[in-house]
């Protein structure tokens, strides 16, 4: 009897929902009902949790945040929290704008900057270094992103040190890069940032002459390379020679660059 009631009530729910959704004359009721349901659901979610959810969403996709903001008032209000702007992904926006930014876009970037979004100094560092403005300006911007534990910023810092042309700095870059690869979590993030950097490099004029002098990190004379392809080694945890591991990163980066 209990089961039958449960079944009946489920069917009734289904019938009611589908009837409302099917009937054009009830579209106002549908919207109102759904809005009421959304509102009551939102009332039960603490604002801190809502912001946390939106921060995670912002980190992966600007478009998803934009859509979430349009979906209801609570999302719209919570999405204006500085924490959301601090975590906002800027992947939807080209590194080099080919036309002037609109006022709305300018206001958006200013808000991201005011909220200390590490993507802002990171992107500026990538632009400065690879277009040949010199490492000083790039490293200064990277520091801002490193303060927020931006793994891409650490990766680009390693690249700058490796291509510095100075043995001491190169050794420092090797140590940093090898250290990053020891953590499974960081290796996963590194892959993400490496691919993002590759996409960014395709959109700019790479003119840094330092990138023409390829550093070599593995100086071992014995035949210890176990693989014929270095590409296999980029994400491999099982590479015992730090020099080879870093050389595989250097090769990946140089292969990603437009012809210098
Ligand atoms: Zn080696």
Ligand 1 centroid–CA 252 distance in Å is 16
H or E element, residue 178: helix 167-180
What local confidence, expressed as pLDDT, does residue 237 receive? 59
Ligand 1 centroid–CA 216 distance in Å is 10
Name the residue with tokens 């437009």: 258
DSSP letters, 44-96, are: TS-HHHHHHHHHHHHHH-HHHHHHHHHH-HHHHHHTTSHHHHHT---TTS-SS
Ligand 1 centroid–CA 241 distance in Å is 5
3 state SS of 184: helix
Nearby residues for ligand 1 (ion, Cβ within 5 Å): 218, 220, 241, 243-244
- Higher-pLDDT residue of 145 and 37 is 145
* Mean pLDDT across 2-20: 39
Distances (CA, A) of 17 to 23, 31, 98: 10, 12, 48
Return all residues near 142 (Cβ < 8 A) that are at least 6 apart.
Answer: 121, 122, 125, 153, 156, 157, 160
Least confident of 28-32, 42-46, 181-185, 237-241: 28-32
What gap in Å lies between CA 127 and CA 119, rounded to an integer? 12
Ligand 1 centroid–CA 217 distance in Å is 8
- Higher-pLDDT residue of 77 and 234 is 77
> Does residue 234 have a pLDDT over 80?
no
């Amino acid at each position: 009897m209990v089961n039958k009631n449960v079944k009946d009530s489920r069917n009734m729910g289904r019938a009611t929902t589908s009837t409302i959704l099917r009937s054009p004359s009830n579209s106002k009721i549908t919207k109102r009902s759904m809005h009421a349901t959304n509102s009551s659901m939102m009332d039960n979610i603490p604002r801190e949790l809502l912001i946390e959810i939106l921060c995670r969403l912002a980190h992966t996709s600007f478009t998803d945040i934009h859509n979430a903001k349009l979906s209801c008032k609570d999302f719209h209000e919570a999405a204006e929290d500085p924490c959301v702007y601090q975590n906002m992904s800027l992947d939807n926006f080209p590194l080099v704008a080919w036309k002037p930014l609109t006022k709305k876009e300018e206001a958006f970037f200013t808000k991201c900057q005011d909220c200390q979004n590490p993507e802002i100094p990171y992107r500026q560092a990538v632009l400065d270094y690879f277009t040949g403005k010199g490492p000083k300006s790039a490293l200064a911007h990277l520091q801002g992103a490193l303060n927020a534990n931006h793994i891409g910023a650490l990766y680009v810092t390693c690249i700058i040190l490796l291509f510095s042309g100075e043995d001491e700095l190169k050794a420092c870059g090797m140590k940093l890069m090898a250290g990053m690869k020891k953590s499974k979590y960081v290796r996963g993030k590194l892959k993400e940032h490496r691919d993002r950097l590759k996409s960014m490099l395709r959109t700019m004029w790479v003119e840094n002459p330092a990138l023409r002098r390829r550093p070599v990190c593995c100086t071992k004379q014995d035949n210890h390379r176990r693989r014929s392809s270095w590409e296999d080694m980029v994400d491999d945890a099982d590479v015992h020679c730090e020099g080879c591991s870093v050389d595989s990163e250097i090769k990946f980066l140089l292969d990603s660059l437009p012809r210098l």
